[in-house]
Amino acid sequence: MKQITVTDLSFSYEQDGKSKPILNHINLQFEKGQFVAVLGHNGSGKSTFAKHLNAILLPKEGTVLVDGIDTKDEEMTFTIRQKVGMVFQNPDNQLVATVVEEDVAFAPENLGVPPEEIRKRVDDALEAVGMSSRRLSAPHELSGGQKQRVAIAGIIAMRPECIVMDEPTAMLDPHGRRRVLAAVKVLKEQYGITVILITHFMSEAVLADRVVVLSDGEVLLDGTPRQVFSQGKILTDAGLELPQVTKTAELLKAQGVPIKGVPLTVEEFADAFYQALEG
Amino acid sequence: MRASGGKSGVTPMLKNITIGQYFRGDSPIHRMDPRLKLILVIAYIVLLFVASGIVGMLLCLAAAVAFYLIARVPLKMIVKSLKPIIPIILFTAILNAFFVEGDVLFSWWIFTVSKQGVLFAIVMTLRLIALIAGSSLLTYTTSPIQLTDGLELLMSPLKKIHFPAHELAMMMTIALRFIPTLIEETGKIMNAQKARGADLETGGLMQRIKALVPILIPLFISAFRRADELAIAMECRCYHGGEGRTRMKKLTFHLVDLWGLLVMAALFVGILTAVHFIPPITF
């Protein structure tokens, strides 16, 4: 089932009287329950694209439909924002309240959900991201990764159908990054929420069901991680790197080691390398 | 000003300013509704000004001490909260002692101290002490979030005359939320500027004030960027003002609130009667 349909989306910023194109005729569709990674280097328009998915920005040209609702429909803005939650890069700048559980309650409170139901949702959301034990802490007492998980819980409590994450791990240390990605997995598996992860970490894109590569405001590649990462040349030209193991395999292949396929994880690489040595 | 920033140097300071005010606890006073607590504090302040004389003030102060004991907040916290306003207390006391006219106790050059002046100075001092002790107890026993909730609800009838009660409470919450973040950031910027050779510790007053500019400018720019991002994040979470908003924690009055109300009423009647019947202390 199509959840988000982006048709011929174009967007540009006005700068010094000139219009600076950011997005250029983008056509994409996102299926319900899919985990999609959107890759792109800085300035590829990936953040601008993300902000179109929940009516924070409105298209200059083309349309974005969420469950068939046009994001330009002003009366439906809050319905769309409830359906498509958004998590940003800096965890500090998205927490509103002085207590973790109050912050998680913020969105359902805005939506006018009855108090008992909010309580249930908050406990549930904090449980899902593994932050129940810190529910009475103040945000400044938490680490970056913990804050980001609270931010995710704050979105889960809204009961969205889709979560768009704009580089949620960019400011975190490796440990925080792992815990946040684990929370993302829960979203997908337990809640069946569609996840659109904007990132420039190849290792995160590998986890997705589908990878979309944006470059200069256009869709460059779109497919499964394996399909996308076998296009090493195109990715490098767009200023993106291959995942570490994939790159190592490519380099070995160039040296004449007969590695088959495109390994995306360390395990896959180990198997392929072992087979290459055996054969 | 000591310029050493960083987490270790800055965070304790902040704990003293805002969030550290609150003593987590489970006393009857902690459990009281913040709205009622706010009203009772106002009532207590009114009582301080209605009751007169040293006897009245001493009784009020005794009541405050009793409340601290009930709330299990250490009494030394009274002293701590008084520290910053000692100059004001002294100033008021001395001014009153010298300028209230009456039976001359002694005089020297152009200064005269009257008996009434001394008595009035003592009453004023006690009144200020009781005022600070009483109102501090509110922040010691009420978490910032409860306090803002209480204020918002108390002020909500004023919405009819377009008073932005919800917006004010929201601003308070966000301020409380971001004070620690910004203080931490100040420390980071100070360190960054020191690493670039900024001298924050020597020189005269003007020089030091000038040295603050390269700290304040990045701090302001960052604060504006934060505000922008926070606004977008709030919009993403469907924030659209106070209209149609519900709350996870509903404030409700309990039996303990009734007791609070009764105790304060008893205090009012008791102290006012006592002041009326006990002869004022003179010398």
* DSSP states along B89-117: HHHHHHHHHHHS-SSEEEEETTEEEEHHH
pLDDT digits (tens, 9 = 90+) for A2-24: 889 999 999 998 887 788 889 99
Q: Scanning every residue of chain B, which has its alpha carbon at the shortest distance from the alpha carbon of A54?
A: B236
A166 touches chain B (CB under 8 A): no
User: What average pLDDT is seen over chain B?
Assistant: 84
Q: Scanning every residue of chain A, which has its alpha carbon at the shortest distance from the alpha carbon of B145?
A: A98
Q: How confident is the model at residue A197 (pLDDT cuts 50, 70, 90)?
A: very high
pLDDT digits (tens, 9 = 90+) for B197-248: 888 777 788 888 888 898 999 999 999 999 999 999 999 999 988 888 888 8
Which residues of chain A neighbour B21 with C-beta distances below 8 Å?
none
Task: Tell me how many degrees the CA angle B52-B96-B84 measures, rounded to the nearest 5.
Answer: 90
% of chain A at pLDDT higher than 70? 100
Among A81, A112, A140, the residue with its CB nearest the CB of B180 is A140
Task: Tell me how many degrees the CA angle B202-B204-B206 measures, rounded to the nearest 5.
Answer: 115
Whether A56 sits inside 8 A of B232 (CB atoms) is: yes
A119 touches chain B (CB under 8 A): yes
DSSP string for A16-72: TTEEEEEEEEEEEEEETT-EEEEE--TTSSHHHHHHHTTTSS--SEEEEEETTEETT
Which residues of chain B neighbour A101 with C-beta distances below 8 Å?
248
Among A81, A88, A109, the residue with its CB nearest the CB of B246 is A109
Whether A112 sits inside 8 A of B246 (CB atoms) is: yes
Whether A110 sits inside 8 A of B143 (CB atoms) is: no
What SS3 class is residue B46? helix
User: At what angle are helices B144-155 and B165-195 packed, to 10 degrees?
Assistant: 140
Exposure class string for B12-44: b at 16+ Cβ within 10 A, else e? eebeeebbebbbeeebbbbebbbbbbbbbbebb
Strand-pairing partners, residue A19, are A14
Q: How confident is the model at residue B14 (pLDDT cuts 50, 70, 90)?
A: very low
Which residues of chain A neighbour B26 with C-beta distances below 8 Å?
none
Tell how strand A18-31 and strand A162-166 pair up.
unpaired
Which residues of chain B neighbour A139 with C-beta distances below 8 Å?
177, 181
CA of B156, closest CA in chain A: separation in Å?
A: 17
Among B144, B181, B238, the residue with its CB nearest the CB of A81 is B238
Q: Scanning every residue of chain A, which has its alpha carbon at the shortest distance from the alpha carbon of B144?
A: A98
Among A78, A94, A139, the residue with its CB nearest the CB of B240 is A78
> Best mutation site among A47, A66, A76, A96 for testing chain B: the one with the most B CBs within 10 Å?
A96
Whether A119 sits inside 8 A of B145 (CB atoms) is: no
The pTM is what? 0.81
CA distance B198 to B124: 47
User: What average pLDDT is seen over chain A?
Assistant: 90
Tell how strand A35-39 and strand A210-215 pair up.
parallel
pLDDT digits (tens, 9 = 90+) for B70-105: 988 888 888 888 888 899 999 988 888 888 877 777
pLDDT digits (tens, 9 = 90+) for A111-139: 999 999 999 999 999 999 999 999 888 89
Whether A86 sits inside 8 A of B233 (CB atoms) is: yes
Q: Scanning every residue of chain B, which has its alpha carbon at the shortest distance from the alpha carbon of A142?
A: B181
CA distance A70 to A10: 15
Among A101, A115, A140, the residue with its CB nearest the CB of B247 is A115
Retrieve residue B276's tokens. 């009326």
CA of B239, closest CA in chain A: separation in Å?
A: 5
> Going from the N-terminus, what domains does chain A have, and what CATH number goes with each?
2-224 (3.40.50.300)
Among A93, A110, A112, the residue with its CB nearest the CB of B237 is A110
Which residues of chain B neighbour A155 with C-beta distances below 8 Å?
237
What SS3 class is residue A193? coil
Residue B12: the pLDDT is 44
Burial class (CB within 10 angstroms; exposed 0-12, middle 13-18, buried 19+) of B230: buried
A105 touches chain B (CB under 8 A): yes
CA of B245, closest CA in chain A: separation in Å?
A: 5
**What secondary structure letter does DSSP report for B242?**
S
> Best mutation site among B225, B230, B236 for testing chain A: the one with the most A CBs within 10 Å?
B236
pLDDT digits (tens, 9 = 90+) for B163-200: 888 899 899 889 888 988 898 899 999 999 889 888 87
Residue B283: the pLDDT is 66
